[in-house]
Structure 1
Amino acid sequence: MSIGYLALVLHAHLPFVRHPESDYVLEEEWLFEAITETYIPLIQVFEGLKRDGVNFKLTMSLTPPLISMLLDPLLQERYSEHLAKLEELTELEAERNTFNGHLKYLSEHYAKEFNQVRITWERYNGNLVKAFKQFADSNNLEIITCGATHGYFPLMKMYPQAVWAQIQVACENYEENFGRKPNGIWLPECGYYEGVERMLADAGLRYFLTDGHGILYGRPRPRFGTYAPVYTQSGVAAFGRDHESSQQVWSSEVGYPSAPEYREFYRDLGWDAEYEYIKPYVMPNGQRKNVGIKYHKITGRGFGLSDKELYDPHWAREKTAEHAGNFMVNRARQVEHLYGMMQRKPIIVSPYDAELFGHWWYEGPWFLDYLFRKTWFDQSSYEMIHLADYLRENPTQQMINPAQSSWGYKGFHEYWLNETNAWIYPHLHKATERMIELAKREAVDELERKALNQAARELLLAQSSDWAFIMRTGTMVPYAVRRTRSHLMRFNKLYEDILQSKIDSGWVEKVEAIDNIFPTINYQVYRPL
Structure 2
Amino acid sequence: MSEREGTFCLVLHSHLPWLAHHGNWPVGEEWLYQAWAHSYLPIADLLRRFADEGRRDVLTLGVTPVLAAQLDDPYSLRAFHDWLGHWQLRAEHAATLWRGEPLLADLAAREHRAATRALGDFETRWRHGFSPLLRSLVDSDVVELLGGPLTHPFQPLLDERVRSFALRGGLADTALRTGHRPAGIWAPECGYAPGMERGYAGAGVERFLVDGPSLRGDTSAARTVGESDVVCFGRDLEVTYRVWSPKAGYPGHAAYRDFHTWAHEVGLKPSRVTGKHIEPSGKAPYDPALAADTLRVHVKDFVDTVVSRLRELRAQHGREALVVAAYDTELFGHWWHEGPAWLEGVLRALPEAGVRVTTLRGAVAAGHVAGPVELPASSWGSGKDWRVWDGEQVADMVAANTELQQRLLALDLSGAGRDPVADQLVTEALLALSSDWAFMVTKDSAADYARRRAREHTERFDELAGLLRSGSPSGAERAAVFRTLAHPFGHVDARAL
TM range (shorter): over 0.9
Q: Give the corresponding residue for 2:401.
A: 428
Distance 1:108 1:441, change over 3 A: closer
What is the TM-score with the length of structure 1 in the denominator? 0.89
Give secondary structure in 1 for the equivalent of 2:491.
Answer: coil
Q: Report the AA paired with residue 420 of structure 2.
A: K
Q: Give the corresponding residue for 2:155.
A: 153
Deviation of 1:55 (Å):
4.9
Q: Report the AA paired with residue 74 of structure 1.
A: Y
Q: How does 1:290-369 map to 2 (within 5 A)?
A: 291=267, 293-369=268-344
Q: How many residues are treated as equivalent by the alignment?
A: 492
1:64–1:173 Cα contact (<8 Å) kept: yes
> Bigger shift: 359-368 or 500-509?
500-509
Distance 1:97 1:3, change over 3 A: closer
Structure 1 residues 26-54: Cα deviation after superposition (integer angstroms, max 9, x where no partner): 51111100011111111222234445565
Structure 1 residues 203-251: Cα deviation after superposition (integer angstroms, max 9, x where no partner): 101001001111128xxxxxxx111011012210011110101110113
Deviation of 1:318 (Å):
2.2
Q: How does 1:10-29 map to 2 (within 5 A)?
A: 10-19=12-21, 27-29=28-30
Q: Which of 231, 249, 267 in structure 1 is aligned with 2:224?
A: 231
Q: Give the corresponding residue for 1:251.
A: 245
1:54–1:372 Cα contact (<8 Å) kept: no
Q: Report the AA paired with residue 86 of structure 1.
A: W
* Residue 379 (structure 1) aligned with residue 379 (structure 2): no
Q: Which of 416, 422, 431 in structure 2 is aligned with 1:452?
A: 422
1:263–1:298 Cα contact (<8 Å) kept: yes
Q: Give the corresponding residue for 1:222.
A: none
Q: How well do the aligned residues superpose, as a CA RMSD in angstroms?
A: 2.0
Give secondary structure in 2 for the equivalent of 1:144.
Answer: strand
Structure 1 residues 285-311: Cα deviation after superposition (integer angstroms, max 9, x where no partner): xxxxxx3x2111111243222211111
Distance 1:315 1:203, change over 3 A: same
* Residue 110 (structure 1) aligned with residue 81 (structure 2): no
Deviation of 1:484 (Å):
1.0
> Bigger shift: 495-504 or 191-200?
495-504
Deviation of 1:185 (Å):
0.7
Distance 1:235 1:503, change over 3 A: farther
Q: Report the AA paired with residue 359 of structure 1.
A: H
2:51–2:137 Cα contact (<8 Å) kept: no
Q: Give the corresponding residue for 1:389.
A: 362
Distance 1:324 1:171, change over 3 A: same
Structure 1 residues 92-133: Cα deviation after superposition (integer angstroms, max 9, x where no partner): 222232322221111111111111111211121432332233
Deviation of 1:480 (Å):
1.3
Q: Give the corresponding residue for 1:285.
A: none
Could you tell me how far apart the structure 1 residues matched to 2:236 and 2:113 are? 37
Q: How does 1:395-410 map to 2 (within 5 A)?
A: 397-410=370-383
2:261–2:271 Cα contact (<8 Å) kept: yes
Distance 1:125 1:365, change over 3 A: closer
2:221–2:368 Cα contact (<8 Å) kept: no
What percentage of aligned pairs have identical amino acids? 27
Give secondary structure in 1 for the equivalent of 2:9.
Answer: strand
Give secondary structure in 2 for the equivalent of 1:361.
Answer: coil
Distance 1:138 1:105, change over 3 A: same
Q: Give the corresponding residue for 1:81.
A: 82
1:144–1:184 Cα contact (<8 Å) kept: yes
What is the TM-score with the length of structure 2 in the denominator? 0.94
Deviation of 1:432 (Å):
1.2
Q: Which of 410, 418, 442 in structure 2 is aligned with 1:472?
A: 442
Could you tell me how far apart the structure 1 residues matched to 2:368 and 2:255 are? 44
Q: Give the corresponding residue for 2:41.
A: 40
* Residue 486 (structure 1) aligned with residue 486 (structure 2): no
2:134–2:178 Cα contact (<8 Å) kept: no
1:49–1:56 Cα contact (<8 Å) kept: no
Could you tell me how far apart the structure 2 residues matched to 1:398 and 1:475 are? 39
1:7–1:348 Cα contact (<8 Å) kept: yes
Q: Which runs of 5+ in 1 are unaligned?
A: 218-224, 279-290
Could you tell me how far apart the structure 2 residues matched to 1:314 and 1:395 are? 40
Q: Give the corresponding residue for 1:286.
A: none
Q: Which of 233, 254, 269 in structure 1 is aligned with 2:263?
A: 269
Structure 1 residues 161-210: Cα deviation after superposition (integer angstroms, max 9, x where no partner): 01112211111111111112101111111110111111111110100100
Could you tell me how far apart the structure 1 residues matched to 2:49 and 2:257 are? 23
Q: How does 1:111-260 map to 2 (within 5 A)?
A: 111-126=112-127, 127-156=129-158, 159-216=159-216, 225-232=218-225, 233-251=227-245, 253-260=247-254
Give secondary structure in 1 for the equivalent of 2:371.
Answer: coil
Distance 1:352 1:25, change over 3 A: closer
Q: How does 1:59-78 map to 2 (within 5 A)?
A: 59-78=60-79
Q: Report the AA paired with residue 491 of structure 1.
A: F
Q: Give the corresponding residue for 1:442.
A: 414
Could you tell me how far apart the structure 1 residues matched to 2:416 and 2:463 are? 18
2:259–2:335 Cα contact (<8 Å) kept: yes
Q: Which runs of 5+ in 2 are unaligned?
A: none
Deviation of 1:415 (Å):
0.9
Could you tell me how far apart the structure 1 residues matched to 2:236 and 2:291 are? 27
